[in-house]
Amino acid sequence: MRPTQQLHEHGQSLWLDNITRSMLDSGQIQKYIDTHSVTGLTSNPSIFDSAIATGDYDDAIRDESERGLSSEDIFFNLAIADLQRAADLFAPVHERTGGVDGWVSLEVSPLLAYDSAKTVEAAKSLHARAQRDNLFVKIPGTSQGLAAIEECIASGVPVNVTLLFDADQYSAAADAYLRGLERRVAAGLDADVGCVASLFISRWDVAVATTVPEELKNRLGIAVGQDAYRTYRDLMESERFLRLANSGARVQRLLFASTKTKDPTASDTLYVAGLAAPLTINTMPDSTLEAFFDHGAVGATLARDGEDCDELFERFAKAGIDKKALAHRLQEEGASAFATSWSDLLAKIDAQTHSPREAR
């Protein structure tokens, strides 16, 4: 049995953190479903920025531009078309698991990260346009995003909460989800609205790589994951959630994101092998998925009590790492990076709409 299937047998979902039109056309995503136990897919502005740079979308962009659309409208038309195809590929998984798995994700404009009202408006519009039951709209877990998450869940829009960096930010996102569900239950509406909470892992170790002792390198990300998993399990067992579950609600599954190893001296499957846990998700780019499929090892699942993460946090604190401040900084930097990628991809689209078709 391949390591990817072993991880699936442990109760964790493997999602692909990538999408391009060529991957859809070539059958690569279907192959990952069939052979690599992939059961969902995520995307973000950086992924689409890289995809558009390949030239795969040149003709489609030109066709869309001839309709007089803005660069943003062109992008969303292209992205929605791709994600509809991906959603259809994962629809059998979605049906087989009763809606637990088989999801794809589309992000609202990162420029809205600090505007609740416009985020809600965009999320509702994108979900309606996509017309797929297994499509999440990604909303960043910023303070302004939390209000948008609550409103979207209350309105029945499935949400992938992105840009979460520690247990406190995860808890705030979970609270927004629960508030949205409580509003639905109070209004007599269906409490089954899909949601996942995406915790970014590898950026922690990148951030402290040059400031901590050798023995602490590449250990902070997994410790943060352990802490968040402990909080997640506490939430699942809380009376607040159990009351909602009695009305038909599901847990907001914890998703481990940014799980590609950035340190070339570390294992290329570090954040997959180290974060195995039931009823969670690990989303990873092609290279990490292929590496784990080829030579990954599945060990023990994450401990319910967080194992040694508290002791590790104390050691990082002694090394001068303010974890709470760093989590806040990482979230701000992540939102800024996505906004930059967004601006870059819109600039690429704009440049292609103004260049002759035969010149490309």
Average pLDDT over residues 96-104: 97
70 versus 165: the higher-pLDDT residue is 165
124 is annotated as an active-site residue: no
Q: Which structure tokens are listed for 307?
A: 């194992």
SS (H, E, C) the chain: CCHHHHHHHCCEEEEECCCCHHHHHHCHHHHHHHHCCEEEECCCHHHHHHHHHCCCCHHHHHHHHCCCCCHHHHHHHHHHHHHHHHHHHHHHHHHHCCCCCCCEEEECCHHHCCCHHHHHHHHHHHHHHHCCCCEEEEEECCHHHHHHHHHHHHCCCCEEEEEECCHHHHHHHHHHHHHHHHHHHHCCCCCCCCEEEEEECHHHHHHHCCCCCHHHCCCHHHHHHHHHHHHHHHHHCCHHHHHHHCCCCCCCEEEEECCCCCCCCCCCCHHHHCCCCCCEEEEECHHHHHHHHHHCCCCCCCCCCCCCHHHHHHHHHHCCCCHHHHHHHHHHHHHHHHHHHHHHHHHHHHHHHCCCHHHC
Average pLDDT over residues 323-341: 95
Residue 272's pLDDT is 97
**Residue 47 clears pLDDT 90, i.e. is over it:** no
Q: CA torsion sign, 76 to 80 to 86 to 92?
A: positive
Residue 59's pLDDT is 86
Any domain includes 80: yes
Any domain includes 238: yes
**Residue 359 clears pLDDT 50, i.e. is over it:** no
**Residue 51 clears pLDDT 90, i.e. is over it:** no
Any domain includes 358: no
Which of 138, 260, 323, 348 is the catalytic position?
138
pLDDT digits (tens, 9 = 90+) for 243-267: 999 999 999 999 999 999 999 999 9
Any domain includes 62: yes
Long-range own/partner contacts, residues 148-152 (CB < 8 A, 24 or more apart)? 148/116, 148/117, 148/119, 148/120, 148/123, 149/173, 149/176, 149/177, 149/180, 149/195, 150/176, 150/177, 150/179, 150/180, 150/183, 151/116, 151/120, 151/180, 152/120, 152/123, 152/124, 152/180
pLDDT digits (tens, 9 = 90+) for 102-154: 999 999 999 998 999 999 999 999 999 999 999 999 999 999 999 999 999 99
**Residue 163 clears pLDDT 90, i.e. is over it:** yes
Residue 45's pLDDT is 81
pLDDT digits (tens, 9 = 90+) for 202-229: 999 999 999 999 999 999 999 999 999 9
Q: Which structure tokens are listed for 35?
A: 């052979």
Pairing of strands 195-200, 159-164: parallel
Any domain includes 227: yes
Any domain includes 359: no
pLDDT digits (tens, 9 = 90+) for 288-305: 999 999 999 998 899 999
pLDDT digits (tens, 9 = 90+) for 232-245: 999 999 999 999 99
φ, ψ of residue 58 in degrees (nearest 5) = -55, -50
Residue 360's pLDDT is 40
Any domain includes 11: yes
In angstroms, rounded to a whole number, what is the distance separating the alpha carbons of residues 108 and 102? 20
**Residue 194 clears pLDDT 90, i.e. is over it:** yes
Average pLDDT over residues 178-198: 98
CATH code (residue 336): 3.20.20.70
Work out the mean pLDDT of the chain and round it to a whole number: 94
Range of the domain at 206: 3-353
Beta bridge partners of 160: 138, 196
When mean pLDDT is compared across 314-318, 336-340, 354-358, the lowest value belongs to 354-358
When mean pLDDT is compared across 2-16, 52-66, 70-84, 152-166, the lowest value belongs to 52-66
In angstroms, rounded to a whole number, what is the distance separating the alpha carbons of residues 147 and 360? 44
Any domain includes 360: no
pTM: 0.95
pLDDT over 70 for what percent of the chain? 98
Q: pLDDT class for 355, splitting at 50, 70, 90? A: low
Q: Report the domain count for the chain.
A: 1
